[in-house]
Chains A and B, each alone.
Chain A
Amino acid sequence: MSDRVLITDAGFGPVDPAERYLGLADLVAAPGAQRVDLGPETDPAALGPDLARIQAIRIAFPAVSDGRGFTLARTLRRMGFTGRLRAAGQLIPEQYPMTRACGFDEVEIDADRARRQPEADWRAAARRQGYLARLRRPAA
């Protein structure tokens, strides 16, 4: 487990083996918990008042072709979530800048993928920037 890799703008790093994420149902039952795992199908309204105490959310990407997590992240940010937001699972380097633009802070992949798609591939992709920045820029 501990050989999962955490990718940030600083490059590859280890995933903290001590951190624990709870599923949504368990979170509601554990008033002290601050980290939650969400599936891509989650209706973020289900987080309700719990959102305020959550410090980290990890959204699962079950397949490279499944882009629901991008929209879920945008929705959470629009709801005012300011904690850590992580995309975890089946992502490729091309998707790193997309996760960042959608409000994620970091990406978690497994060791196999990290071997097959080394840090250099993720760094090469990270710089890319599309048109949106321009349309979202405040009018001059």
Chain B
Amino acid sequence: MYAYSDFDESFVRDRVRQFRDQVERRIDGRLSEDEFKPLRLMNGLYLQLHAYMLRVAIPYGTLDARQMRQLAAISERWDRGYGHFTTRQNIQFNWPKLCDVPDMLDALADVGMHAIQTSGNCVRNVTSDHFAGAAADEIADPRPYAELLRQWSSDHPEFQYLPRKFKIAITGATADRAVTRAHDIGLRVVARDGAVGFEVSVGGGLGRTPMIGRIIRDFLPEADLVPYVEAVLGVYNQLGRRDNKYKARIKIAVHEMGLDTIRELVEARFAETRSEFPGAEAALAEIRAAFRAPDFRAGGTAIPSGSPAFRAWADTNLAPHRREDHAIVTVSLKTPGQQPGDASAGQMRAIADLAETFGYDEIRISHRQNVILPHVRKDDLPAVFEALAAAGLAAANAGLISDIIACPGMDYCALATARSIPVAQEIAVLFETLDLAHEVGPLRLNVSGCINACGHHHVADIGILGLERAGVETYQITLGGDPTERIAIGERTGPGFAADEIVGAVERIVTAYLELRDSADETFADAYRRLGLAPFQKALYSEESRENAA
């Protein structure tokens, strides 16, 4: 795994010292609130509904046991004994005190972690495939590129005060598990004539105006990555709108000026930047060496037999590893009834122990708010399952309807217009009670507590958006969204549903799907592509269907 170099170490320590100093200068008035705010955000500190929130980066979602244990310790010492894993491969602590934050940052630096550029109008933590380095369908491990971009973007002198936040995602596999085209820049590793490069998309994003990234370059040679991204950012910094923060993302510039104009400007700038990073190649080689695969221990290629509970879990929570004798394990943070994405300190330690004992000390965080053990020998799976079960982490629901993405919503977030956590909990519990989740099969259900779409509802099979109408919560449904390489933005079904109707509405959609599907092999996404919105609208809104459900 990537280990901090001396430079990384001193850079991160220096940032902590700076932040300590910035907090002091804010308190004694040398910095105004307006001047302090971007500095605070650049260091991951948000002001939320009840308290500050510290957002810690988990670069490209990769962690080791020592780091996981430190997150557990931080949550106990300065928070309330748990942390919230987010769709952006961050962990958020919801209850820190401002005066403690520099100490928390120091504790993170002790294990090579930081909160740099997890918020604010700068290049954010680069996200990646949570199966990176392990997936059977991988062309190249995307993490070395993500780390190169982390280094390039950290404290980049030109791009700390952009018009708006800027998110980059990268995948190295044929399947897109990083939702690349919902990012300001999406990078997909492709091979052409034996050379590795990237398909580059630009202008994707969710939020109030969801847009799918447009392909600005179909093949960017690996060596041009940094100068090309530098060119895109230069164009955006100059042209992105600053008069209206809702129109400030690069997607609006692409939309208003046209992809061809943006492409021309980027290519012109790229002609200049291209020769400016002679050190990038050596840096990439060094980084790549640090991402060597572990020394895998050989084992059996079959999944051992076990209890029915083990088999149910193995059916849903395993993904193909590039070695036949290993599997990728998804540790669900979605036990029906729990807050999606939350892990207690005890659970974090249990995961750290497992990673050390059975997982070559590697852990990943997925944008679906779960934890991944990327390399587990198939022979060890029953032992891993038993240990997870003992820690309350063995929910057999990865990829199922109860594996819900939910943003913090009204329970924590100052921008929320509705609650999202209770809705997610009720839906998960309902399908658990009905014992239907396995029957329904793969289905993505995502919930956001406001139009900002932090819960990725636009790219879910069933997306739920919580709004407020005349003082009451109302939930809008979108169907047919897809976060994968088949990316699609969901379509609105029609009028929203009240808080006490939304769970029933989801149930009607699912019941309709079960009736309409060709066979158990036709997933919800496939059935929706075949059938379109109409039959689901009927199930949702016709008098008859409402009565049947009542």
Contacts and interface: CB of A to CB of B under 8 A. Distances in A.
Asked if A and B bind, the verdict is yes
Interface of A: 64-68, 70-72, 74-75, 78, 92, 94-95, 97-102, 116-118, 121, 124-125, 128, 130-132, 134-140
Contact of A98 (B157, B162, B226): B157
Interface stretch (B104-112, B138-146, B208-216, B271-279): B271-279
What are the 7 A-B residue pairs with the smallest beta carbon separation, nearest first? A67-B161, A101-B157, A130-B155, A98-B157, A137-B279, A131-B151, A71-B237
Contact of B11 (A64, A116, A131): A131
B157 A132 contact: yes
Nearest to B235: A71
B158 interface: yes
Contacts of A101: 157-158
B14 to A, nearest CB: 7
Interface centre among B34, B160, B238, B283 (most CB of A within 10 A): B238
B503 to A, nearest CB: 42
A32 B280 CA distance: 43
Contacts of B152: 131-132, 135
B114 to A, nearest CB: 13
B156 A130 contact: yes
A118 B31 CA distance: 11
Contacts of A100: 157
B158 A135 contact: no
B484 interface: no
Given A131-B11, A134-B279, A66 B242 contact: yes
Contacts of B282: 139-140
B30 interface: yes
A72 B155 CA distance: 18
A12 B449 CA distance: 49
A68 B237 contact: yes
Given A64-B35, A128-B14, A135 B157 contact: no
B336 interface: no
B290 to A, nearest CB: 15
A113 to B, nearest CB: 10
Nearest to A94: B39
Contact of B29 (A68, A74, A116, A124): A116
Contacts of B31: 92, 117
A130 B161 contact: no
B162 A67 contact: yes
11 contacts: A66-B161, A75-B238, A92-B35, A100-B157, A101-B158, A132-B156, A135-B152, A135-B277, A135-B280, A136-B276, A138-B279
Nearest to A128: B14
A21 B301 CA distance: 75
B158 A98 contact: yes
Interface in B38-65: 38-39
A64 B11 CA distance: 23
B234 A71 contact: yes
Interface in B249-294: 272, 276-283
A128 to B, nearest CB: 7
Given A65-B121, A139-B278, A131 B158 contact: no
A138 B283 CA distance: 11
B237 A134 contact: no
A92 B86 CA distance: 32
Contacts of A99: 157
Contact of B160 (A67, A121, A131): A67
Interface string B9-28: 00100100010011001000
A138 to B, nearest CB: 5
A117 B29 CA distance: 9
Contacts of A98: 157-158, 160
Contact of B30 (A66, A97, A117, A138): A117
Given A92-B35, A121-B30, A135-B151, A67 B25 contact: no
A72 B238 contact: yes
B78 interface: no
A75 B18 CA distance: 29
Contact of A67 (B159, B276, B278): B159
B242 A70 contact: no
A139 B237 contact: no
A135 B279 contact: yes
Contacts of A65: 34, 38, 121, 161
A75 B234 contact: yes
A130 B11 contact: yes
Contacts of A131: 7, 11, 151-152, 154-155
Nearest to A116: B30
Contact of B278 (A64, A66, A116, A136): A136
A136 to B, nearest CB: 6
A138 B121 CA distance: 30
Contacts of A67: 158-162, 237
Nearest to A139: B278
A97 B38 CA distance: 16
A71 B158 contact: yes
Given A75-B234, A128-B155, 6 more contacts: A74-B158, A94-B18, A102-B158, A128-B14, A131-B11, A131-B151
A72 B269 CA distance: 12
Contacts of B226: 135
B24 to A, nearest CB: 11
Contacts of A71: 158, 234, 237-238
A121 B22 CA distance: 10
A130 B234 contact: no
A82 B159 CA distance: 22
Given A117-B30, A132-B157, A124 B21 contact: yes
A134 B156 CA distance: 12
A88 B357 CA distance: 58
A74 B161 contact: no
Contacts of A118: 30
A117 B159 CA distance: 23
Contacts of B162: 67
B13 to A, nearest CB: 12
Interface string B85-122: 00000000000000000000000000000000000010
